[in-house]
Structure 1
Amino acid sequence: MVGKKSGKALQREEGLERTDNNMDLTTWPQVNMINQKNYYTEYLKRDDQFLAFRTQNEEATNRMVREARDRDRALAQSSRGVTMAGDGTAGAGGDAMDVDEDLVAEDNTAAVATQEARGSKIIVMHPGSQNLRVGLASDALPKTVPMVIARRDKENESEAGDGEPSPKRVKIDDELPEEPEKWFGEEFSKKFASMATELKQRMRNNKRRLLPNSKELVINYNRRGAVETISEHNDPLRIDWTELPPNPAKAPDYFTGQAALRIPEQSKPRYKLFWPIRNGWFNEHDYTNKNLLFEDFSTIVEEALKSELGLSRRKDWSQYSCVFVIPDLYEKNYVISILDIMLRNFGFGKVCFMQESLAATFGAGYSISCIVDIGAQKTSICCVEEGLCSENSRINLKYGGWDVTETFIKMMLHDWFPYEDINLKRRYDYLLAEELKQKYVTMNESDINVQTYDFHLRAAGQDTRKFVFKTYDETMLAPMGFFRPDIFDNSWKLERRRNLIDRSYDLYDGSPNDPTSIAQNFALEFYGGIPTATNGSADGPSSSTPAPSSLAPPSRQQPASFLSRFNDLESTPRTSVANSPAPDGGPGTSTPQPGRASPAVGGAGGLGDGSGGPAAGPTAAMPVYDPTAEKIGAAEARDRVLPSMPLDRAILASVAQGARGDERKMRDFYGGIMVVGGGSKIPGLNNFLEQRLRELQPGLAKEILVGVPPRDLDPQVLVWKGASVFGKMSSSGNDSWIGQKEYDVLGSRLLMHKCMFNW
């Protein structure tokens, strides 16, 4: 009897059996599905998987191996010496102890020598608006070079712009008034008189004796204009001017530093001065080409390295590292440009960046302090605690020592200064004005009386002229502009701003990401009156803090601020808009489009024509909130306002944001205020500032102390000194070096991982 056949047998008989000939349907590699219940990866989760950290660890390992070999070699040599000294002697034990002590002393000496040797290969640079301070980290003091370059041109700077002098005189009917009191306008005269009245009242309160006709004595004496001519061969302090070849065709294309300032005004060919950095920014006012701006900056630094440091061979520069000092409230494009110049143009082996205020604390040895850095054309304030700058306490004000010089000359001309043709665009007049400020400007009330001074005017190809003049309160009213910055001439400081160098934008959502701070926003609102907002930069969201009552400007109400609204928006994390559909302008568009424009203040923005009213059609369009457009608008509003604020009130704002309500921190910051920079060398400035702060904060009057750098250090070079100390630290204490190899691979993205501050 035949049994029942199975299904496979029936399929085999019918030819339906499935056969496998080991042939794939496709040659494309097939990836199995990932088990979501047991999914794990280590990609970019360890330091050794990232090039920057891996290179750093490899260098540390190689250094440890090298040091271990040197130590073993030294021990082997010392043991051989001990064996030879102990053969055939009874006092071998005592000799061995002496040898051990000698070895310890040699090790200590070797450690110091190693640090000094490390510093001899590190270049420290601190550029400013007026001077460049550069030197090796092993040097005691830096070399100071004027941050200026003179290039061949059709006309010099004093002949450009129809020969308009500086300070600018006001003309009536195209003619200069005969009375110097009218040269600078009625507004300046009113501010000058107001400041003089305030000073008199202050001196009366301090029981100072005042002469009733002091101003008339000064004007009547200066009006006579006593001038004495001295022949050049009888002048023992004559100036050696920069010599040019007789043939103009053989004249150099440029001069840098002090040689540029010593070129005669009527030289053949003409030379024109250019300052690559103005007001702490790249100088977009005097340049029309960004490449020429960077080239001039590089040329000044290169000539300083060759002439001041003796590094004449560029091929040796790869053996040197560079510590570059940047502002506390920096611009990202500025830092990126400097990094590219240092590594690509100069070819340094490594580069690291350090903020100015942090460098000042390193130089002074302070762990917590409020640093006030008064430079030539900008003043920065920042609270530093335990090696970190408080981000929301950073303030960058666009006035400094040069504004004091210009205002001092204006006040002297207002009071019939005998040298009435002074023009700060001329090189010898510029040097003369700086000399007069350094000699006679003071903030000591005891020095305010009618004084008789003299100066010598030395110009190329002319006999020396000696002027005698009198001063009264002009010597103190000019630096008091730090506390009344509206007396300074700020008309040109924002001209051509963002004309060559744009702001930095976020790679994902296209919003501006240059760092800002709440304290800086107070400075922008103080005189500008334009509400600003945080831009959602890498500094992260910041919460609003009410300004102290003393921050409101006198005789005007604090402008309405939208800071709280923007900060409330930023305080809640939002999902990234990187994967959102691109605007109508196409991919990569970072400017607000008509269809996405945010509503204007006080009205609702439409989706149609962007005119602020409802869109045309049967139904009105709802307003659309675009955070990117809001941030771009806030950044543009900030660029239209010059940050200017009285120095004492700016310090209060910075300390308030640095302490963040912590009374202990506030007392530490007030007790550790340190004023540095060239502008801080005005006699009596620290005492005057301390009195002003105590008047504004009577409850903390005993805690407020404005100090000077310790160990009699020059406040001008303190920041450079701190950067040199930082540069000599071992790599275990400084892991912010950026090398050539990793920069070639990752570019400026390294700054996010290498900078000690929040990039």
Structure 2
Amino acid sequence: MDYLKSVVPSQLVSERGSNLVIINPGSANVRIGLAKQDTPFNVPHCIARHTTIIGKPNLLDQMINTQVTTTSQQVDRERAFNTKTASLLKIPYLDGSSSFGSRKTARIDGYNQPSTNTKKDTAFPWTDVFEDEPSSLPTSETSAHRSEDNADRAAPDVTDSGESKRKYRNMIFGEEAMRISPKEPYTIHRPIRRGHFNVSPQYSAQQVCEDLVAIWDWVLLDKLEIAHSERNKYSAVLVVPGTFDSREIKELLTIVLRDLCFSSAVVHQEGLSTIFGNGLSTACIVNMGAQTSAVVCIEDGVSLPNTEKILRFGGDDICRCLLWIQRHYQNWPQLRTDVLAKPIDMLMLNRLKESYCEIREGEVETAATVYSYEDGMPAVAHKTNLTSLNVPPMGLFYPNLLVPELFPQPPRTWFQDHENMLEETWNMDFGGGNMGLPVWDSFAVSPLNPKKEEKIGLAEAITSSILSAGRIDLQRKLFSSIQLVGGVGLTKGLVSAVEERVLHAIPPTEAIDTVEVLPSKMDPTFVSWKGGAVCSTFLHLFMSMILGILDFGREAWIHRNEWMENGIRVGSAKKYRDSYYIQAQAFCFINS
């Protein structure tokens, strides 16, 4: 214990973090890496499987579950723009009218000059879907041959000797999967959507889990180079989003321990990992991902479940809004851009969003290059002038701009199986003492039904969350300790917009006059992942230790056979309840 009081986190990571894998699953991306790394591998959370079934949709989950934008949703979107956003940002209305006189324009700094970052103006290549084969070509020629566009080879070649055609790759992962031409015989699966397992009548729970195993196993093998035979030397930390239900967490633990063969595992909630990653103990965490945003308040390292707000919009919706606003202003070329049917179009829009979107007054515009991707043909560049680039991120405050219903949450029937993970299976008399007392009765356990999503904007969600915390002293501290994390947290101008709009959202009857967003000590995209290594077991001793690297009491460990037979059971008569009570207690599971 004296050593733990004196050791610095970096020293602890160096000594014990080389065999600890941190896994932070999200809807659009999964972040996986060793605790000793500064940043993880950030991989699109999708897998493309080769299919021989003619007519099978190339996007299983999206093509079947996606709804069409209704007229009322379109009207609501235009009303949100004209009555709210246009006035606030001092830009022309959609119908061309404006009360601001001459059109005020503001070019994005640095973007009116030739860009030194050529990545913004580079097309994404189509993925080569064929397996490598022996070749007599020199290495450089072989690489060049594999990089040729699929259109240059209309069909797999058949050799003169009658050899079979080139063989398709069975599975393709990550960004490569998103760059597969729609004409190729592949079906793309996304196992997590809108913060939940993407279970539906067309996408079974078993298939979802198998896809998760395949994606994560590929990252471990291809990126981290951890072979199956070496997995028993590694432990895993699961940093789970606040949107996940208890059954989803249980399935992830089974995947990590049974299928990926880690020796042990520990679960931590994303919000808690965030504050530990930034060295805080009390804060309002605003995690803005690709498809969901979550707000939760944390006091002294303990999550306050009544403050949690789940918002069903994120960075992907901002991308779609970017496309919508350009088409309305007729600035988008006549392209068949479809972010739902062609994932490669989403990659392009996401790059444009990250490069050019920001929040500030005036007409924010820039010259840019967009691409058309047509059925495996080479990408065609189109120069255009993107305008109103400050509108899409304002959808965070006015969700009607984003029309999140276009990409709804998966059906929830899978979770109505009455498998109560919160059951007091250990609550019995073991021959004396207090072992049979319901020690969890003092906690407000969350219900098993799916977590309620809020149909409000970000400012209202933050305000409502903090005001739900109770005490005025805690509320004041939380309003001055807001943390913006997730990829959307990098949006330029978002900090000042959140401070201003949250301040205006506070009712005048509340004695609050200060709102402050604290700067993140690291990339907001990865702070939750990094925080997964921060100590919570010894929270009262020091706040910035690396979680999962510390030694835990032997009574906290469980053998693999107990996990598989009895579910979640933690030593000392403690049982994992749900994600709210991960808190400062590390729950570990060990393979035998």
Which TM-score band (shorter chain)? 0.7 to 0.9
Indicate the SS of the match to 1:258: helix
C-alpha distance 130-539 of structure 1, shift in aligned 2 (>3 A) = farther
Corresponding residue number in structure 2 for 1:614: none
Indicate the SS of the match to 1:653: helix
5+ long unaligned stretches in structure 2: 92-97, 105-120, 132-155, 157-163, 425-439, 535-545, 583-592
Preserved CA contact (<8 Å) 1:351 1:739? no
Indicate the SS of the match to 2:274: helix
C-alpha distance 149-430 of structure 1, shift in aligned 2 (>3 A) = same
Instruction: Name the CA distance, whole Å, in 1 between partners of 2:80 and 2:243.
Output: 33
Paired AA for residue 276 in structure 2: F
Paired AA for residue 706 in structure 1: V
1:504 is displaced (CA, Å) by 4.8
Question: Which of 352, 361, 364 is 2:266 aligned to?
Answer: 352
Preserved CA contact (<8 Å) 1:214 1:450? no
Indicate the SS of the match to 2:217: helix
Instruction: Name the CA distance, whole Å, in 1 between partners of 2:298 and 2:59.
Output: 45
Indicate the SS of the match to 1:372: strand
TM (norm. structure 2) is 0.73
Corresponding residue number in structure 1 for 2:225: 310
- Of the two, which has the highest radius of gyration? 1
C-alpha distance 494-750 of structure 1, shift in aligned 2 (>3 A) = farther
Corresponding residue number in structure 2 for 1:643: 454
C-alpha distance 737-419 of structure 1, shift in aligned 2 (>3 A) = farther
What pairs with 1:315-714 in structure 2 (closer than 5 Å)?
315-416=229-330, 417-424=332-339, 425-446=341-362, 448-449=363-364, 451-457=366-372, 461-473=376-388, 475-491=389-405, 497-502=411-416, 504-506=418-420, 635=449, 642-658=453-469, 660=470, 662-697=471-506, 702-710=513-521, 713-714=522-523
Indicate the percent of aligned positions where both proteins have the same amino acid.
Answer: 23
Indicate the SS of the match to 1:468: strand
Preserved CA contact (<8 Å) 2:20 2:549? no
Indicate the SS of the match to 1:266: coil
C-alpha distance 701-439 of structure 1, shift in aligned 2 (>3 A) = farther
Indicate the SS of the match to 1:423: coil
1:323 is displaced (CA, Å) by 0.4
1:642 is displaced (CA, Å) by 4.8
C-alpha distance 733-368 of structure 1, shift in aligned 2 (>3 A) = farther
Corresponding residue number in structure 1 for 2:21: 123
Question: Which of 525, 533, 552 is 1:716 aligned to?
Answer: 525
1:405 is displaced (CA, Å) by 1.1
C-alpha distance 164-729 of structure 1, shift in aligned 2 (>3 A) = closer
Indicate the SS of the match to 1:491: helix
Q: Show CA shifts across 1:646-676 (max 9, x none).
A: 1111111211222x1x121111101100100
Corresponding residue number in structure 1 for 2:538: none
**Alignment of 1:758 onto 2:576:** no
Preserved CA contact (<8 Å) 1:288 1:500? no
Paired AA for residue 281 in structure 1: H
C-alpha distance 486-654 of structure 1, shift in aligned 2 (>3 A) = same
Instruction: Name the CA distance, whole Å, in 2 between partners of 1:320 and 1:686.
Output: 38
C-alpha distance 438-286 of structure 1, shift in aligned 2 (>3 A) = farther
What pairs with 1:246-265 in structure 2 (closer than 5 Å)?
246=156, 250-265=167-182
Q: Show CA shifts across 1:414-451 (max 9, x none).
A: 232223421112132121121221222211225x2454
Instruction: Name the CA distance, whole Å, in 2 between partners of 1:677 and 1:734.
Output: 35
TM (norm. structure 1) is 0.58
Aligned residue pairs, count = 493
Farther-moved stretch of structure 1 (643-652 vs 461-470): 461-470
Instruction: Name the CA distance, whole Å, in 2 between partners of 1:373 and 1:148.
Output: 21
What pairs with 1:283-294 in structure 2 (closer than 5 Å)?
283-285=198-200, 287-294=202-209
Paired AA for residue 401 in structure 1: G
Instruction: Name the CA distance, whole Å, in 2 between partners of 1:282 and 1:164.
Output: 16
Instruction: Name the CA distance, whole Å, in 2 between partners of 1:506 and 1:308.
Output: 36
What pairs with 1:84-95 in structure 2 (closer than 5 Å)?
none
Indicate the SS of the match to 1:743: helix
Instruction: Name the CA distance, whole Å, in 1 between partners of 2:122 and 2:500.
Output: 43
Preserved CA contact (<8 Å) 1:743 1:750? no
**Alignment of 1:140 onto 2:57:** no
C-alpha distance 503-652 of structure 1, shift in aligned 2 (>3 A) = farther
Preserved CA contact (<8 Å) 1:167 1:406? no
Greater strand proportion: 2
Indicate the SS of the match to 1:727: coil
5+ long unaligned stretches in structure 1: 1-59, 68-106, 170-183, 216-234, 511-537, 544-569, 571-630
C-alpha distance 432-724 of structure 1, shift in aligned 2 (>3 A) = same
What pairs with 1:156-175 in structure 2 (closer than 5 Å)?
157=57, 168=68
